[in-house]
Amino acid sequence: MTGRAEVRADMQYPEHEKRRKTVKKPRVMLAASASGTGKTLITCALLKALKNRGLAPDAFKCGPDYIDPMYHRTVTGKDSRNLDSFFSDRHEICRIIASGEGDCAVLEGVMGIYDGADIGSFRGSGYEVALESETPVILIVGAARKGRTLLSEIKGILAEDQKECIKGLILNQISASFYASLKSVLEKELKQAGFRTAVLGYMPEISGLNLGSRHLGLVLPGEIDDLSAQMEETAKVLEQSVDVDTVLKVMDLAGAPEIECTAADTTVHAGEEDPLILGVACDSAFCFYYRENLDLFVRKGVKVQFFSPLRDQSIPEYVSGLLLGGGYPELHLKELSENKSMLDSVRKAIERGIPSLAECGGFMYLHDSITDESGRTYRMAGAVQGACRYTGHLVRFGYLELLSSAMQDEYCQSFVGMRGHEFHYYDSTACGDSYVAGKPFKDRKWHCMVTENNGIWGFPHFYYGSNPEAIDRFIQKMHDVRMALHKDSRRGARELRSNGAIRTS
C-alpha cells in the first residue's frame, strides 16, 4: 500500500465480482506442523516459481495476519487477501478465492494446520478453510534437529486428516544428504500406514536469508534490503529441491473442484456524481488493513483515499469519514509527534463529528500520549483522554466478538456482533467501556471501545464482513454528517452576509 494521499484506481469495485459464477481455480494451501516452520518463505518462493513459469498466481493468507500478505504482494505485485473461517462462512471464503483474476491460487495457512480459535475443534484453522473451499494441502514440516520423531509427528498429523486433504509433504530446514536417506523410509512407512501422501521435496537452510521478526511477527517487507533478489534466489532453490511439477498436479487434479460463489453486496449509499470519501491512514506506521475491509466500502460507493500521518500535513480535503488502522506507530513516535499539523487536523475533524474508526495503532494515535519501551513519552492527537504504555507482554491476545453495547443509539448498537482480534503489547489507561467483548469458546468477557463524536475506537482489529450492517450504518453516518456540516456552513455564510461581513455584488 502507498502512504500518498490519493485515490487508488484499483480500489474501485471490480466488475467481475458483481456476478454469481462458477470458477475453475487450480489451488493449493501450504500449511505447516507449527508456527515458525517456514510457511511464509516457502509460500513466497512457490509464488515466485509459478510466476517464473509464466503463471499469474493469486495469494491468500489464512487467519487474521496482516504482515504475511505484504510479503505475498512483493512477489505477485497485487494484494493478497485473508481467508478466515471465524470471520467468514463458506460462501464468503469461496467468493474471495474466486474474486482473484489470476489463473491459480496459493493459500498460506495459519499457525499449525489444525490450530484456530478453539482447541476442541478445527474452527478458525487453516484446515477448516481447506475443507470449506475444497483446497488440497501441502504440509510443511520443520525437520531441523529431528530424527525418528519426525516420522511420528508426520503420521500423527496425517491421522487427524480424516478428509485426506493433505496431498503432499515438504520438509524444511534439512540437508540434502539427510533428506536422501529419510525420503525412502518416510515413503515406506506412510504407505504401510495407509497414507497416500506424496513426499514432494525439501528446503535447505539458505545462508544469509532471514525475514526477521519483532513482537508483532515478521518485520515489514520494506525493511529488508534486496528482498526481491532474495525471493528470486529462494524460488531457484525451491525448483531444485521440490517437485514443482507435482505441486502443479496437486493444485489442478487432486481434489480442487470448481468454486461456486455468490456475488458480493454492492449496495450503493452515495451517488456516483458526489461519492463519499473515506480517508485511510496508510504508511509504514499504519499499514494493517484487510483488503476485503476496504473493498466493502468501495462496493458501497465510497471512495478510499489514503494519506500519511507521517508525511502529510493534514487529512485529505473533503473526506466524510476516517479510518485509522493498526500498524507500528510505536516505531515512529518521534515523527508522528512532531507532525503537529496532522495531529491537529485529525483532532479537529473528530471534533467536527466526522465519523471515524480507529483500530489498535490508530487508537493509540488518538490518545494524549504514548510511552515507548525506553520510557520516553510522546504527545499524540489528544482525542482520547488517556495514555498508552508498553507492557512487555501480549494483552488480551486472540479472537473476539462484540457481545453488547452500553450505548443505546442504533449507530453504536449496529456494531454488536462484529468479530475481530487483538494483538498488541501496548495498553491504555482509557480502553473504554462502550462495549462488552468476549472470547469465542471461552467464558471471558471485558469492557472495551471508546465512542465519542461519531467515532468508534479501540484495540480490536475488526473484519467488517463479519457484520456488514455496521458498515452500512457507518456510511449512513458519513452521509448524514456531511449533509449537516454542509447546512451549517451555508447557514453560517447567510449569517455573515446578513451582518455585512461578506459583501455580495
Distance of alpha carbon 273 from alpha carbon 269, whole angstroms: 12
Helix axes 227-241, 67-76, angle to 10 degrees: 80
Return the C-alpha cell found at 92.
464468503
DSSP 137: E
Distance of alpha carbon 437 from alpha carbon 439, whole angstroms: 7
Distance of alpha carbon 252 from alpha carbon 239, whole angstroms: 18
Three-state SS string across 374-392, please?
CCCEEECCCCEEEEEEECC
Distance of alpha carbon 269 from alpha carbon 367, whole angstroms: 31
What beta strand segments (E) does 204-313 contain? 213-214, 217-218, 259-261, 277-281, 286-288, 303-307
Active site residue 360: yes
Give strand pairing partners of 462: 420
Task: Give the closest residue to 232 by CA, choosing from 209, 212, 205, 203.
Answer: 209
Residues ≥6 apart with Cβ < 8 Å to 254: 136, 167
Number of helical (H) and strand (E) elements in the chain, helices listed first? 14, 28
112 burial class (0-12, 13-18, 19+ CB within 10 angstroms)? buried
DSSP 414: T
> Of 261, 282, 360, 431, which one is the catalytic site residue?
360
Active site residues: 360
